[in-house]
Amino acid sequence: MMDVKRVISTIERKYIINNLKKEERVDGRGLWEYRDFKIDTDMVASAEGSADVSLGETRIITGLKYDVGEPFPDLPNEGVCTIMAELLPLASPLFERGPPDEQSIELARVVDRGIRHADCVQTKKLCIKEKEAVYILFVDMYVINYAGNLIDCGGVSTLASLVSAHIPEGEYTENGIEWTGNYLTGEDIVNELPLVLTYGKIEDIIFSDPNLPEELVCDGKISVSVTEDKITSIQKSGAATFSLDEIRMLGKKSIEIGRELRNKLNFWQYKVKIE
Amino acid sequence: MVLIIKDEYPEKLFREDGKRLDGRDKTELRPLKMEVGVIENADGSAYLEWGNNKIFAAVYGPREVHPHHLAKPDRGILRVFYRMATYSVFDRKRPAPGRREKEISMIISDCIEPVLFLELYPGTAFEVFIEVIDADGGTRCASTTVASLALADAGVPMKSLVTSVAIGKIDGEIVVDLSGIEDKAGEADLPLAITWFNGEISLLQFDGAMDVEEFNKCLTLGKEAAEKIYQIQLDALRKKYISIQESVSGSSNASGGEE
């Protein structure tokens, strides 16, 4: 059992800050170093795509389901992709039962925006017949263990479950929508691979991938979503303020770290092959 | 919910060679795998794979009761929350807990309570959270089994473990451990659980139609199957301590402390 507290003692807070000032982290990492990602995909037989992603001790299991419905009137030939997150009370004593709270909504929204504005999901390919029928994708994240930085873990988890997708392909006929016998896979629906990267800020020190104690003592966080060469969404949260120079630096840094992580994680290895 | 592939049931539940659709004999269990201590933050946790079922259970407690009026001054309370992930079933489940989940939470709680010494923990609660990640028939049995394992992993004093399994009737034959298809297309389903300290039945539901002789056969087969599952539960618990023992003795060997 890990010692999880809602409030961190002053002495522990000082220890974390003093370490950061020496460019060291309490878990031995460098300032811009990520914990290890561990990814397993397509392990949920009932889902049309799934991913089990660990970032250090943080673990999120994401699944993809689909529905066929009418498109929005202003986007008659585009499908819909919705993202939801649930902070299960089994994941941490800090999480409580009940309807989604601010933290789970922020997680879902930040991940969703990162994906939405990056030209990641090809919504036009999710159209079965214009104005009549489109796919509605549900990507649902379930937090299994919470040890800081849910957003980055959730982003990778969502992307990996989309890449591992295998959705039955429908055809519009007189008798309704019928299965063609083929599947739409991750390769068909995913274009860009956006990553969301979160930084913590304590006093004037900024660092990547805050772990749980760092997250509990930090003044604030900033999450930057990036594709190969573009910034696609940013969310600042918590009470910290960032200078213009810091934000410029983080924009540049995010593209660099994003490229490195994207290469390392090699998402396309998780696409599902259907015979 | 409009799905492109329809959820259809096969007409026959036995193959030509007399085996079940997934190749099992009538009294054969699906492959079972259990592990404890899988969720770092929890006081105790367990993970189970039973056929295509994938279930996590985590235990927190004894801890303060919220809302406070549920606390009992003379004893602790056990609260079980069984939930299914939206993607664990064929049709996406709605995210909010439904009536089925609440009922199953209650029967699991009632099933496990007899093995706990709740009178030793007045004013507190043990909370067991069960999350079904993938479902394929028999999740209430699997959840009961994994929940009792998580409680044992948390070091909660228990009279014994609890083991649960479903027996059913498909195409007129009594079979052990119904799969998802067998559960939906079969004629009868009888989940039961055994508390090993007294060998008695602590969970029993029955849906379907059977004559008395068939019913008695179910109970006998159920107990036999539960015994096999019980051994797997014990092995899962032992494995954790054996690995701790090995890591400790490994380090003492390195320092020359071998006996």
> Would you kindly state where each structural domain of chain B is located, as residue ranges?
32-247
Query: Do the Cβ atoms of A68 and B2 come within 8 Å?
Result: yes
Residue B158 is classified by DSSP as B
Mutation for B interface: A55, A60, A70, A90, most B CBs within 10 A: A90
Element holding A246 (H helix, E strand): helix A244-265
CB B144 within 8 A of CB B128: no
What residue type is assigned to position B214 of the chain? Answer: E
In whole angstroms, what is the distance from residue B130 CA to residue B157 CA? Answer: 20
Query: Do the Cβ atoms of B4 and A69 come within 8 Å?
Result: no
CB A81 within 8 A of CB A159: no
Inform me whether the C-beta atom of residue A168 falls under 8 Å from chain B C-beta atoms.
Answer: yes
Q: Enumerate the residues of chain B whose CB falls inside 8 A of the CB of residue A169.
A: 4
Which residue do the tokens 């299994």 mark? A144
In whole angstroms, what is the distance from residue B190 CA to residue B141 CA? Answer: 10
Residue B251 vs residue A97, higher pLDDT: A97
Closest CA to B14 of B175, B156, B235, B223: B175
Q: What is the pLDDT of residues B39-82, one digit of tens each?
A: 999 999 999 999 999 999 999 989 999 889 999 999 999 999 99
The residue count of chain B comes to 259
What are the C-alpha distances in Å from A271 to residues A149, A184, B86, B218? Answer: 26, 11, 22, 44
Which residue do the tokens 């800050």 mark? A17
What integer pLDDT is reported at residue B258 of this predicted model?
40
> In the beta sheet, which residues pair with residue A143?
A60, A87
Inform me whether the C-beta atom of residue A175 falls under 8 Å from chain B C-beta atoms.
Answer: no
Domain B32-247 - what CATH class?
alpha beta
Q: Enumerate the residues of chain A whose CB falls inside 8 A of the CB of residue B134.
A: 43-47
What integer pLDDT is reported at residue B259 of this predicted model?
38
Which residue numbers in chain A have pLDDT < 70?
1-5
Shortest distance between the Cα of A268 and any Cα of chain B, in A, equals 22
What residue type is assigned to position B163 of the chain? Answer: T
Of A64, A92, A168, nearest to B41 by CB-CB distance is A92
Asked if the model's pLDDT at residue B250 lies above 90, the reply is no
> In the beta sheet, which residues pair with residue B40?
none
Inform me whether the C-beta atom of residue A164 falls under 8 Å from chain B C-beta atoms.
Answer: no
In whole angstroms, what is the distance from residue B42 CA to residue B147 CA? Answer: 13
What integer pLDDT is reported at residue B257 of this predicted model?
41
DSSP-based three-state secondary structure for A131: coil
Query: Do the Cβ atoms of B89 and A68 come within 8 Å?
Result: no
Residue A52 vs residue B258, higher pLDDT: A52
Which residue do the tokens 């690995």 mark? B243
Asked if the model's pLDDT at residue B106 lies above 60, the reply is yes
In whole angstroms, what is the distance from residue B79 CA to residue B104 CA? Answer: 12
Element holding A252 (H helix, E strand): helix A244-265
Inform me whether the C-beta atom of residue A3 falls under 8 Å from chain B C-beta atoms.
Answer: no
Confidence class of residue B11 from pLDDT cuts 50, 70 and 90? confident
Instruction: Provide the mean pLDDT of chain B.
Output: 93
Residue A128: half-sphere exposure toward Cβ, Cα within 13 Å: 29
What integer pLDDT is reported at residue B252 of this predicted model?
52
Task: Mention every residue, 6+ apart, whose C-beta is less than 8 A from residue A152.
Answer: A34, A55, A195, A196, A197, A198, A209, A223
Give the tokens for residue B19: 């085996």
Q: Enumerate the residues of chain A whose CB falls inside 8 A of the CB of residue B96.
A: 99
Q: What is the pLDDT of residues B112-140, one digit of tens each?
A: 999 999 999 999 999 999 999 999 999 99
CB B132 within 8 A of CB B55: yes
In whole angstroms, what is the distance from residue B56 CA to residue B38 CA? Answer: 8
Asked if the model's pLDDT at residue B256 lies above 50, the reply is no
Give the tokens for residue A159: 């992307």
What integer pLDDT is reported at residue A124 of this predicted model?
94
Shortest distance between the Cα of A146 and any Cα of chain B, in A, equals 7
What integer pLDDT is reported at residue B1 of this predicted model?
59
What integer pLDDT is reported at residue A8 of this predicted model?
82
Of A89, A140, A168, nearest to B85 by CB-CB distance is A140
Q: Where are the beta strands (DSSP E) in B85-187?
A: 124-134, 162-170, 173-176
Residue B147: half-sphere exposure toward Cβ, Cα within 13 Å: 35
Closest CA to B201 of B174, B237, B235, B226: B226
Predicted-assembly ipTM surpassing the 0.85 threshold: yes
Q: In this prediction, what percent of chain B has a pLDDT beyond 90?
A: 87
Asked if the model's pLDDT at residue B253 lies above 70, the reply is no
Q: What is the chain A residue with the closest CA to B153?
A: A1
Asked if the model's pLDDT at residue B254 lies above 50, the reply is no
pTM of the model: 0.94
Q: What is the chain A residue with the closest CA to B135?
A: A46
Give the domains, in start order, of chain A with CATH numbers.
24-270 (3.30.230.70)
